[in-house]
Amino acid sequence: MTQPPSAMKPVPQWDERFRLLLEASPAGIILVDAKARILLINERIESWFGYSREELVGQFIEVLVPDSVRPHHIPLRDGYLRAPTVRPIGSNRDLTARRKDGSEFPCDISLHPLPLPDELQVMVHIVDITERRRLEAERRQQESHRRLRFMIDNLPAGAVYVSGPVIAANRATEAITGYTRQELHTLESWFGQLFGERAAEVQAQYEADRILHFPKTRTLEIIRKDKQRRWIELAAYGDDQHEVWLLYDVTERIRAQDQVVQSERLAAIGEMMTALAHESRNALQRSQACLEMLEVDLEQQPEELDLVQRAQRAVDELQRLYEEVREYAAPLRLELQSSNLRELWRQVWANLTPSMGTKSITFQDDCPLVPVADVDRHRFCQVLRNIFENSIAALPATGGMISLTSETISWQNLPGLQITLRDNGSGMSPEQRARLFEPFFTTKARGTGLGMPIARRIMEAHHGEIELGPLLAGTEIVLRLPTVNPSVPTPA
Ligand code: ADP
Ligand code: MG
């Protein structure tokens, strides 16, 4: 018959139980006598301090005190031993103990005099608080990171920290760019998302600036996630290990500067043109009247008639040029009306059909919802007409395709519309693309080069914009505007 295990082992004696209890204590325990000599230690003390029991028993307690504290310790412990009291845990902060190898560790020490009848003995209770200190330090560091992060996140400026290929952006950067920080978390996504087709060029400039430790602040045009173009001013600071960028949206400032320059220019052109138009109108009308009379006289003489008709066309062109320049320079006053834009572009397209001659052009429009916006119908049709006319002119003699899509977007935090017009015509060279909105830039023998600048003025007067889409085969023009114009008071 087998016996239960407890019956097999002898039950330890009380002394042995106390010894096991002492050794099992998670704290280090030392017993010292009235002279501060070590009488007994537990195993925890051996392992923390690196001494064996034999080495420590009989030594003064100061063997465990750091060298620098030792001289002060002797009078203190003598004072204590003359009038011993319980010193609980935590009553003596910032203590350190010395290991056998001279290294030190932080500890918490409490003192407990034992109530023995014949002599004084004191139990020294030690807890190694290295781990607790480490956790406290970690918590403090986390807290200071949290505060720093809060501060950076609430800066009114965009701030970006660059670490190798990875970047960390703050909340203001998200507001400036429209992208979340996850979407911008590498240099590659930063340049790719914000600079579109200019990404490589801007990144090369940044690399060059970095080599020179960022000598200057750059003003850069970015493309926000909602496709708006904005201007930012970016100042970078860096050394070998850290790099920080600060950015501000300076679009309004730049627009205001541009507007001043532009309106001064326009005022000058306007004045000149008004004078010129006044002087020329009579002359043009007179020559047109004469040409009409000549036309009647020369009905039987085809060669002369052809010359007269050419002269008439030249006069027409001159008149159109005057009209467009005046239009470009004169102040724009919009009469906004809530309008179905699909009706407008279909009407403009229908009016243009006769001018296409033999070109066979497919027109396709695609918009899931009825596109309604507050526009000045006459002006908005002017924008569409010029874009269509340009596309028709860019298509080869055999014809091609013109398409239009419309979608709802959020535009400057308001509901808006984006209309994209594409053709598969000749497209433009990079130089032409850069100059598209420049007044008088034209590649046409009879162009005025004012169509696109006028279109831009009209779109901006609608609180919208017009821009050239990405480099594709053919040309893409994008219009964006608010559906409810901020300058129209909403009906009560
Ligand atoms: P204009 O039509 O009088 O030349 P615009 O301002 O309308 O003036 O256009 C300026 C120039 O931009 C055009 O002469 C042409 O070179 C170029 N352009 C405009 N739209 C297109 C297009 N869809 N395809 C190719 N080139 C275009
Ligand atoms: Mg044009």
Q: Residue 177: which CATH number?
A: 3.30.450.20
Q: Are residues 245 and 279 in the same domain?
A: no
Which of 323, 402, 442 for mutating ligand 1's site (highest number of atoms within 8 Å of CB)?
442
Residue 268 lies in a domain: yes
Atom 27 of ligand 1, nearest CA residue: 390
- CA-to-CA dists, residue 186 to 75, 166, 192, 200, 218, angstroms: 63, 4, 10, 14, 20
The CATH code of the domain that includes 375 is 3.30.565.10
The ligand placed nearest to the CA atom of residue 477 is: 1
In this prediction, the residues of the chain whose per-residue pLDDT falls under 70 are 1-12, 90-93, 487-492
Our answer on whether the CB atom of 386 is closer than 6 Å to any ligand 1 atom is yes
**133 inside domain:** no
443 lines ligand 1 (CB under 6 A): yes
Residue 492 lies in a domain: no
Query: Which residue is closest in CA terms to ligand 1's atom 13?
Result: 442
417: helix, strand or coil: strand
Share of the chain above pLDDT 90, in %: 66
Task: State if residue 474 touches ligand 1 by the CB under 6 angstroms criterion.
Answer: no
Do the domain assignments include residue 466?
yes
Q: How many angstroms separate the alpha carbon of residue 427 from the centre of ligand 1?
A: 9
Same domain, 244 and 268: no
Q: Looking at the DSSP assignment, which residues form a beta bridge with residue 31?
A: 40, 123
Our answer on whether the CB atom of 432 is closer than 6 Å to any ligand 1 atom is yes
Which ligand approaches the C-alpha of residue 444 most closely?
Answer: 1
Among the atoms of ligand 1, which is closest to the Cα of residue 391? 23
Residue 415 placed within a domain? yes
344 and 308, same structural domain?
no
Ligand nearest the Cα atom of residue 425 = 1
Buried b (16+ CB within 10 A) or exposed e, 355-372: eeeeeebebebebeeebe
Tens of pLDDT, residues 282-309: 888 888 899 999 888 888 899 999 999 9
Question: Are 192 and 243 within one domain?
Answer: yes
Q: Go through the chain and tell me how many residues it has.
A: 492
- Same domain for 241 and 165: yes
Cα angle value 328/332/337 (rounded, 5°) = 130
Tell me, in angstroms, the distance from the centre of ligand 2 to residue 451's CA: 4
Do 429 and 343 belong together in one domain? yes
Domain boundary among 97, 128, 159: 128
Co-location of 114 and 151 in the same domain: no
Q: Which ligand is nearest to the CA of 393?
A: 1
Same domain for 238 and 259: no
87, part of any domain: yes
Please give the distance of CA 335 from its chain centroid, rounded to a whole number. Answer: 37
* The predicted structure's pLDDT at residue 489: 55
Together in a domain, 375 and 472: yes
Residue closest by Cα to atom 18 of ligand 1: 390
Q: Which token pair is 61? A: 């307690």
Q: How many CB atoms lie within 10 A of CB 51?
A: 19
Ligand 1 centroid, distance to 418 Cα (angstroms): 21
Domain boundary among 99, 128, 157: 128
Clarify whether residues 203 and 264 are in a common domain: no
- Domain presence at residue 116: yes
Q: Which ligand is nearest to the CA of 400?
A: 1
Atom 20 in ligand 1: which residue has the minimum CA distance? Answer: 390
265 with 287, same domain?
yes
Q: Which atom of ligand 1 is nearest the CA belonging to 425?
A: 24
Residues 342 and 446 in one domain: yes
Question: Is residue 92 included in any domain, yes or no?
Answer: yes
**Is residue 475 in contact with ligand 1, taking CB distance under 6 Å?**
yes
Measured distance CA(358)–CA(361) in Å, rounded = 9
Q: What is the DSSP secondary-structure string of 245-261?
A: EEEEE-HHHHHHHHHHH
- Calculate how far, in angstroms, residue 56's C-alpha sits from the geometric centre of ligand 1: 97
Domain count, the chain: 4
Q: Which domain holds residue 353?
A: 336-482
* N-to-C CA span, the chain: 101
The residue contributing the CA closest to ligand 1 atom 25 is 427
Q: Is the CB of 449 under 6 A from ligand 1?
A: yes
How far, in Å, is the centroid of ligand 2 from the Cα of 471? 19
Say how far apart CA 161 and CA 236 lie, in whole Å: 10
- Buried b / exposed e along 453-463 (16+ C-beta atoms within 10 A): bbbbbbbebbb
Final residue before a domain boundary, out of 187, 215, 249? 249
